[in-house]
Structure 1
Amino acid sequence: MRAFTKTMRFVGDLDDEFYDDERQRDVWNEASAVGFQMFYWAAIIGAAILAWTANTTGVWIALGIIVVATFISYATLGYSAARGVNMYTAAKLGRVRGVVVAAIIAVGSFGVLIRLQPDVYSQASSWAGAVVGAIAAGVVVALSIRQMRKRNARFEAEEI
Structure 2
Amino acid sequence: MGDETKRDSWFVRAAAAVGDLGNPFYREERRRDVWNEASAVGFQLMLWLGLAAAGAMIWIGGPPALPYVLVVIGVVGVPSLVSGIYAARLGVRATEGARMSWWRMAPVLVLFLVMAAGLLVRGSSDGVSASTVWGSWRAAWPSSG
1:40–1:69: 8 Å Cα contact kept in structure 2?
Answer: yes
1:34 aligns with 2:41: yes
Name the aligned partner's letter for residue 21 of structure 2. Answer: L
Q: How much has 1:112 moved relative to structure 2?
A: 2.1
Structure 1 residues 2-151: aligned runs within 5 Å: 2-117=9-124
Alpha-carbon distance, 1:94 to partner: 4.2
Give the secondary-structure state (helix, strand or coil) at the position aligned to 1:90: coil
Equivalent-residue separation in structure 2 for 1:29 and 1:98 (angstroms)? 21
Query: Which string of whole-angstrom CA distances, capped at 9 and with x for unpartnered residues, describes residues 84-108 of structure 1?
Result: 1111223223432223212311221
Contact 1:50/1:58 (8 A) holds in 2: yes
Distance 1:12 1:81 in 2: 16
TM-score by length of 1: 0.66
Percent identity, please: 34
Separation (CA, whole Å) in 1 of partners of 2:15 and 2:100: 24
Count of residues paired in the alignment: 124
* Unaligned ranges ≥5, structure 2: 1-5, 135-145
Q: Describe the SS at the equivalent of 2:95.
A: helix
State the SS of the aligned residue for 2:20. coil
- Computed over aligned residues only, the root mean square deviation of the Cα atoms, in angstroms, reads 2.5
Query: Is the 8 Å Cα contact of residues 66 and 105 (structure 1) preserved in structure 2?
Result: no
Gaps (5+ residues) in structure 1? 131-160
The ranges of structure 1 where at least 4 consecutive aligned residues each deviate by more than 4 angstroms after the TM superposition are none
